[in-house]
A and B are shown apart, each in its own frame.
Chain A
Amino acid sequence: MSPHTDDVALSTTAERAAVVQAAGAQPDKDWVIVTRGLKREYDMGGEIVRALRGVDLAIRRNEYVAIMGPSGSGKSTFMNLIGCLDTPNAGEYWLSGELVSQKNDDELARVRNKEIGFVFQTFNLLPRASALHNVELPLVYAGIGSAERKERAMEALTKVQLDNRATHRPNELSGGQRQRVAIARALVNRPSILLADEPTGNLDSTTSEEIMKVFENLAETGQTVIMVTHEPDIAAHARRVVVLRDGLIASDERKENFTSKLGL
C-alpha cells in the first residue's frame, strides 16, 4: 500500500478538528474513537496527579495508529481509558458512535468484550489453558456456545498460523507464538479496535518484526489498530503517530512527516 492511499484512509486535520470540537454531539460511526477534553486525575495520598489534562483525539475506522510518549506522559492512562478499563474524571469518550465515558463497570466489561481486542506486553495468557482455550475466552464471556466457540477460536488461530499449536499450553510455545495466540484472542470477537500495549516489549528484534508483520497484515485487511509504544522503530510501522507529553497531545502526525522527522 502506497503512502498516497494511506493519506486517503487517514482523516484530514480539519475534519478531525470538527469532530473533536462538536462537544456532546454523537460522531459518525466511522469515527471509531473520539475523545473530547479527556481528563484523568489520581489521588496519590493527598497529592493530585493529573495524568491526562484534556485530550482531544479522533481516530477513523481502519486507521493504524501508534501512541507514543515518555514514561509519565499519560500514555498508559490514555490506553486504559481507550480500552474501557478505566473511566475519565472529565470529558467524553465515544467508541464506535457510543458514549462510553459514563458507563458503569459491567457495561464497560461488555463494551470491552465486544469492541476491544487487547494485546499485552507480557501476553497475559492463562498458563494452564491450551492456546485454543485461551483464544476462546472472550467468546465465553460473550455467552457463545461451546461448538461455535471452538470453531471461531480455531479460525482465529489459523489467521496467525498457529492452528497446529491449538492444544499447546503457553509454556510450550515461544514468545512470538505466545504473542500470536494473544493476537488471535484479541481478534476472535471481531472487535472494532485492536489495542496493543508495548506488544513487542518482551520479544527479541527478529520476533518483534514477525509480530509487527502480523499487525501490518491486519491493518491492511481493514482492522483498526492502536498501538502504545515508546520505541520509535516499532511506532514507525504505524501510519499515524500520536505523541503524548505531560498529559496532553504534543503531536499527531501522518506517516511521511513522522518518518522524515525520525530520520528513517
Chain B
Amino acid sequence: MRGISLDQLRENIDIAFDALRVSKLRSGLTILGVVIGVATVMTMATIVQGVRDQILNTISVAGPSTFYVMRVFNTTPVNPDDLPKWIRIRPALIAEEADRISQIPQIEYAGIWAQIQLRLDYQGARTQSIAGFGADDRYQEIQGGELIEGRWFTKAELRSGAPVIVIQEAQARRIFGRIDPIGKTIVAGGRPVQVVGLYQPPANIFSPPGQEIGAVFPFEFVTHNFHIDKTNALFICVKPRPSVSVADAMDAVTIEMRSMRKLRPADHNNFDLMSQSQILDTFTSITDIFFLVMLVLASVALMVGGIGVMAIMMVSVTARTREIGVRKALGATRRDILLQFLIEAATLTGIGGVLGILVGLTAGRGVTSLMNIEANTPVGLTLVAVAVSVAIGLIFGVIPARRAARMNPVEALRYE
C-alpha cells in the first residue's frame, strides 16, 4: 500500500469537515456515544489522578516512614463483631508495649495513642463531631504540620493528664471567630479543657472534612476522662530512625511484639502493622478496580458510538453516491475513495474524542475542586483518548468506506 501524503490528508480532512458542517445535528448525535465514553474515562482519570497525587504528597509530608501497630487493620470497614474468633480474641495494645518498642535500636519513636470522637464547645458555638487524638508532645514531629500559636504540652502535663488541648486552627476559628483562643477554657466532649496551642495539620487525604484530627490531648487525659474502646481506639505510632528502612523497622517491631506476647513460631501475629505504603497499595488496588469498571463501561459507550458512526457513514455514502461517481470519473481510485471516507469517520470520532476530553477534564476539575484537591491533567491518557477515538472511526468506518470505494462509477453517476 502506498503511503498517504500530508497534502492528501489535509484535503480529506477538509472534505470531512465540510461534510460535517452540512449535517451538524446528525453528526453531533452520532458522536455522542464517543463523547460520553471519553468524557467518563477522563473524568474518572482526573479524579483518581488528583486523589493519588494528594496521597503521595501527604505521605511525603507526613513522613513515609511512620507506621502503626494496631489490634486489627482492615482495608475496608467491617463490623467488629463479624470478625473471625482468632482476631476477636486478640489482646488490646498497652503502653508498656509502646515503651518496649521505643527501646529497639532501629526505632526513633514509639508511643501509644488513642483516637476519640468529640465536639468542641465555646460559649454555645460548637463544632461538628471531630476526631481527637490522645498523644504526646512529639505529635507534630511524627505527624507533620506546624504549630501556629501557643505551645505543645509540657512533660508534666503529659504525665498528669492535665486538661489541656491543642486544637486545629480551622476548628478554633469556627468556635472562636476573631477571639484569641489561647488560654481560653472550652468544653471538649463534655469536659472543660484549656486551649494551649493552635495547630495546622498537613493536607491529608486520609481524613476527609469533618474527620480531620481537630484536637490533640495528652494521652493520659484521654484515657482517664473519656470512655475508650480499648480494643480499637488504641494504636502504637512508630517512627524508625532515619537510616533504617521501613521494612527493617517493621520486622524489628514484629519480633519485639511477638516476644512480648510470647507467641510460638507456629502462631499467627495477634496484632497488625499498617504502613503508609500499605494504605497507598490499598488505595491503588481499589482505584485499579474502579478504573477497570470505568474502562468496560467506556468501551461499551465507545462501541455504541462506533456503531452510530458506522450507521451514519452508511447513510452519508448513499447520499453522496453521485459525488463518489464524479470523483471516480475524475480519476479517484478505490483507495482514494476509501481514504476519504475513513478519514471522514476518523475526523468525526476524533472530534467526539476531543469534546469528550474537554467535558471530562472540566467535570473532573469540578469534582476535585469540590473535594478540595488539586487536579493534574492526565496528559498520557489524553493522548490515548484521542488515539482511541480516531481508531474507533477508522475501525467502524471500514465497512461504509469499502462500500463507497467499490461503487461502480457508471451506476454512481446515474444515481439520483
Chain A interface (Cβ within 8 Å of chain B)? 80, 83, 85-86, 105-106, 109-110, 112-114, 118, 120, 124, 126, 128-129, 137-138, 140-143, 145-146, 185, 189
- Asked if A124 and B331 sit within 8 Å, CB to CB, the answer is no
Instruction: Chain A residues near B335: list those with CB within 8 A.
Output: 106
Task: Kindly list the 4 A-B residue pairs having the minimum CB-CB distance in the complex, ordered from nearest.
Answer: A113-B331, A141-B331, A109-B333, A106-B333
Judge whether B187 is part of the interface by a CB distance below 8 angstroms. no
Beta-carbon nearest neighbor of A126 in chain B:
B323
Known: A86-B410, A106-B335. A118 touches B330 (CB 8 A): yes
Instruction: Chain B residues near A118: list those with CB within 8 A.
Output: 329-330
- Asked if A138 and B330 sit within 8 Å, CB to CB, the answer is yes
Judge whether B289 is part of the interface by a CB distance below 8 angstroms. no
CA of A124 to CA of B333 in the docked complex: distance in angstroms?
18
- Asked if A113 and B413 sit within 8 Å, CB to CB, the answer is no
- Asked if A83 and B331 sit within 8 Å, CB to CB, the answer is no
Judge whether B157 is part of the interface by a CB distance below 8 angstroms. no
- Asked if B413 and A141 sit within 8 Å, CB to CB, the answer is no
CA of A85 to CA of B331 in the docked complex: distance in angstroms?
10
- Asked if A146 and B413 sit within 8 Å, CB to CB, the answer is no
Which size bracket describes the interface of B in this complex?
Answer: 20 to 34
Known: A85-B410, A86-B410. A137 touches B7 (CB 8 A): no
CA of A113 to CA of B335 in the docked complex: distance in angstroms?
14
Chain B residues 305 to 333 lying within 8 A of chain A, measured CB to CB, are 322-323, 325-333
Instruction: Chain A residues near B288: list those with CB within 8 A.
Output: none
Instruction: Chain A residues near B8: list those with CB within 8 A.
Output: 140, 143
- Asked if A138 and B331 sit within 8 Å, CB to CB, the answer is yes
Judge whether B18 is part of the interface by a CB distance below 8 angstroms. yes
- Asked if A83 and B329 sit within 8 Å, CB to CB, the answer is yes
- Asked if A141 and B332 sit within 8 Å, CB to CB, the answer is yes
Among B7, B326, B327, B332, max chain A CB count under 10 A is at: B326
Chain B residues 334 to 350 lying within 8 A of chain A, measured CB to CB, are 334-336
Instruction: Chain A residues near B179: list those with CB within 8 A.
Output: none
Distance in angstroms from B409 CB to nearest chain A CB is 5
Instruction: Chain B residues near A145: list those with CB within 8 A.
Output: 7
CA of A128 to CA of B23 in the docked complex: distance in angstroms?
13
- Asked if A124 and B18 sit within 8 Å, CB to CB, the answer is no
Judge whether B22 is part of the interface by a CB distance below 8 angstroms. yes
- Asked if A112 and B329 sit within 8 Å, CB to CB, the answer is yes
CA of A80 to CA of B408 in the docked complex: distance in angstroms?
11
Instruction: Chain B residues near A106: list those with CB within 8 A.
Output: 333-335
CA of A138 to CA of B330 in the docked complex: distance in angstroms?
5
CA of A137 to CA of B334 in the docked complex: distance in angstroms?
15
CA of A105 to CA of B409 in the docked complex: distance in angstroms?
10
Judge whether B5 is part of the interface by a CB distance below 8 angstroms. yes
Judge whether B272 is part of the interface by a CB distance below 8 angstroms. no
CA of A232 to CA of B332 in the docked complex: distance in angstroms?
34
Judge whether B251 is part of the interface by a CB distance below 8 angstroms. no
Instruction: Chain B residues near A120: list those with CB within 8 A.
Output: 326, 413
- Asked if A112 and B410 sit within 8 Å, CB to CB, the answer is no
- Asked if B5 and A113 sit within 8 Å, CB to CB, the answer is no
- Asked if B329 and A143 sit within 8 Å, CB to CB, the answer is no
- Asked if B7 and A112 sit within 8 Å, CB to CB, the answer is no
Instruction: Chain B residues near A138: list those with CB within 8 A.
Output: 330-331
Instruction: Chain B residues near A113: list those with CB within 8 A.
Output: 330-331
Contacts beyond the supplied A85-B329, A109-B328, A124-B326: 4 A-B pairs with Cβ under 8 Å: A113-B330, A120-B413, A126-B323, A141-B333
Judge whether B96 is part of the interface by a CB distance below 8 angstroms. no
- Asked if B331 and A110 sit within 8 Å, CB to CB, the answer is yes
In the assembled complex, 8 residue pairs joining A and B whose CB atoms fall closer than 8 Å, in A order, are A105-B334, A110-B331, A112-B329, A124-B322, A128-B18, A138-B330, A140-B11, A141-B327
CA of A155 to CA of B296 in the docked complex: distance in angstroms?
56
- Asked if B331 and A109 sit within 8 Å, CB to CB, the answer is yes
Instruction: Chain B residues near A110: list those with CB within 8 A.
Output: 331, 333
Among B5, B323, B329, B331, max chain A CB count under 10 A is at: B331
CA of A185 to CA of B330 in the docked complex: distance in angstroms?
9
Beta-carbon nearest neighbor of A189 in chain B:
B331
Q: Mark B81-107, 1 if CB is under 8 A from A, else 0.
A: 000000000000000000000000000
Distance in angstroms from B216 CB to nearest chain A CB is 72
Beta-carbon nearest neighbor of B409 in chain A:
A85
Instruction: Chain B residues near A85: list those with CB within 8 A.
Output: 328-329, 409-410, 413
Distance in angstroms from A183 CB to nearest chain B CB is 13
Q: Mark B7-35, 1 if CB is under 8 A from A, else 0.
A: 11001000000100010000000000000
Among A80, A114, A141, max chain B CB count under 10 A is at: A141
- Asked if A137 and B330 sit within 8 Å, CB to CB, the answer is yes
Q: Mark B330-372, 1 if CB is under 8 A from A, else 0.
A: 1111111000000000000000000000000000000000000
Distance in angstroms from A259 CB to nearest chain B CB is 32
- Asked if B413 and A137 sit within 8 Å, CB to CB, the answer is no
Instruction: Chain B residues near A124: list those with CB within 8 A.
Output: 322, 325-326, 329, 413
Instruction: Chain A residues near B331: list those with CB within 8 A.
Output: 109-110, 112-114, 138, 141-142, 189
Instruction: Chain A residues near B18: list those with CB within 8 A.
Output: 128-129
CA of A249 to CA of B409 in the docked complex: distance in angstroms?
25
Beta-carbon nearest neighbor of A137 in chain B:
B330
Instruction: Chain B residues near A105: list those with CB within 8 A.
Output: 333-334
CA of A85 to CA of B414 in the docked complex: distance in angstroms?
12
Pick the residue among B22, B322, B327, B333 that contacts A137 (CB under 8 A): B327
Distance in angstroms from B3 CB to nearest chain A CB is 12
Q: Mark B382-416, 1 if CB is under 8 A from A, else 0.
A: 00000000000000000000000000011001000
CA of A109 to CA of B18 in the docked complex: distance in angstroms?
25
Beta-carbon nearest neighbor of B19 in chain A:
A128
CA of A128 to CA of B7 in the docked complex: distance in angstroms?
20
CA of A86 to CA of B325 in the docked complex: distance in angstroms?
12
Instruction: Chain B residues near A146: list those with CB within 8 A.
Output: 7
Distance in angstroms from B202 CB to nearest chain A CB is 59
- Asked if B332 and A109 sit within 8 Å, CB to CB, the answer is yes
